[in-house]
Amino acid sequence: MLYAILRRFGQMLFVMFGISVIVFLIFFATPGADPAARIAGRNASPEVLAAVRHSFGFDQPLYVQYTRMMEKIFVTGDLTSFVNRGWKVVPAVMDSIPVTLSLVFGAAVLWVVVSIVIGIVAAATRDSWLDKLLMALGLLGISMPVYWLGEVMNLITQSRYHDSWAFSWVPPLGYKNFSDDPKGWFLTLVIPWITLAVLYIGIYGRVLRAAIIESMQEDYIRTARAKGLSETRILFRHALRTSLIAFVTLFGLDFGALVGGSALLTEVVFGLHGIGKLTYDALQNLDLPMIMATVMYASMFVVIANAVVDFVYILLDPRLRAS
């Protein structure tokens, strides 16, 4: 087991190394473009340009440039964004992480819990009016784009009905640090959580329902019935666990991607300065150091999420515990 963990960890490092090299090459070694000019920004003075060139090692071979870059991100942390008036890149990323994590974690808890309940109820009452209603609602959730649903939520909770008893508790848009104001942190995030979760509840509920229905056709379910177990026990003990594998796979992919910046639309709609927003701005301004740092950060989360998924597989299915 320990060996498996270590091996997986090694793989993660290797994958991240590969990603960093590719991203580095794309942005810093594209023929015909001078990365120093990009980093220094428009209308940079020759002195600044020279300083940048020297500091990033652009007058030296590629591998030196690459090591410099990695050193600036991971060791010294003094990667500077010239486009953004000398912002330190690493602290900017570090400041955005809690915002995005708060948003995605909360939404994930919500969508996992609700979609498991919906999936189970729909599968158990298969083809009934309740099943059809839940699946229709799920489809509705999937069909509503976040930027639209988010704006509608804002319209309702921030302006139109803000003064009614139902939404008077909703604080203005923005993010509050958990350590400063736990209650404010929670209240500001409730509406973003719901908005982000709606889409995933729809998808995950449907996926789980289909997986459970498929499991219920298995021979071992017939065995379980022949044993004289109740339908409830058969569903929860014998069908659900194997059904969760597809669910966990999806979750790993989605969670990693969201934490890595895909929550951008939600962040923008609700004025949260998270990783998505940071990446988006960096791309808009062609802020190469920032792009490098956010991509590294995002890939790290995707890779970690996938490793966690692999371990959950092993917990769910002993057949994967082979060696």
Partner 1 sequence: MILSVRDLRVSFRTHDGPVRAIDGVSFNLEESEILGVVGESGSGKTVSLLAVMGLITDPNATIEGSIRYKGRELVGLPPRELRRLRGNEIAMIFQDPMTALTPVYTIGWQIAEQIRAHRGVSKAKAMERVEQLLAEVNFPNPHEAMSRYPHQLSGGMRQRAVIAMALSCDPALLVADEPTTALDVTVQAGILDLVRKLRAKHKSAVVFITHDMGVVSELADRVMVMYAGRVVERGTRSELFSDPRHPYTRALLGSIPPLTGQKPRRLPAIPGSPPSLLRLPQGCAFGPRCPVRYEPCEAGKPGLGSDAHAAACFRVAQA
Binding site for partner 1 (CB under 8 A): 218-220, 222-231, 233, 237-238, 241-242, 316-319
Instruction: Tell me how far apart the alpha carbons of residues 58 and 60 are, in angstroms, rounded to a whole number.
Output: 5
* Cβ closest to partner 1, residue 164 vs residue 230: 230
**Is the distance from CB of 44 to CB of 82 less than 8 angstroms?**
yes
Q: How far is the CB of 123 from partner 1 (least distance, A)?
A: 14
Q: Give, in degrees to the nearest 5, the angle at Cα 292 between 291 and 297.
A: 95
* Cβ closest to partner 1, residue 269 vs residue 309: 309
* Cβ closest to partner 1, residue 60 vs residue 223: 223
Q: How far is the CB of 246 from partner 1 (least distance, A)?
A: 14
Instruction: Tell me how far apart the alpha carbons of residues 323 and 319 are, in angstroms, rounded to a whole number.
Output: 10
* Cβ closest to partner 1, residue 114 vs residue 122: 122
Instruction: Tell me how far apart the alpha carbons of residues 22 and 134 are, in angstroms, rounded to a whole number.
Output: 44
Q: How far is the CB of 226 from partner 1 (least distance, A)?
A: 4
Q: How far is the CB of 136 from partner 1 (least distance, A)?
A: 22
Tell me which DSSP letter residue 177 carries: -
What count of other Cβ atoms lies within 10 Å of the Cβ of residue 96?
Answer: 23
Instruction: Tell me how far apart the alpha carbons of residues 253 and 176 are, in angstroms, rounded to a whole number.
Output: 28
Q: How far is the CB of 162 from partner 1 (least distance, A)?
A: 49
Q: How far is the CB of 220 from partner 1 (least distance, A)?
A: 4
Nearest to 8 by CA among 239, 305, 259, 246: 305
* Cβ closest to partner 1, residue 4 vs residue 155: 4
Coil, strand or helix: which one is 88? strand
* Cβ closest to partner 1, residue 163 vs residue 219: 219
Tell me which DSSP letter residue 274 carries: -
Which residue is listed with tokens 């021979």? 219
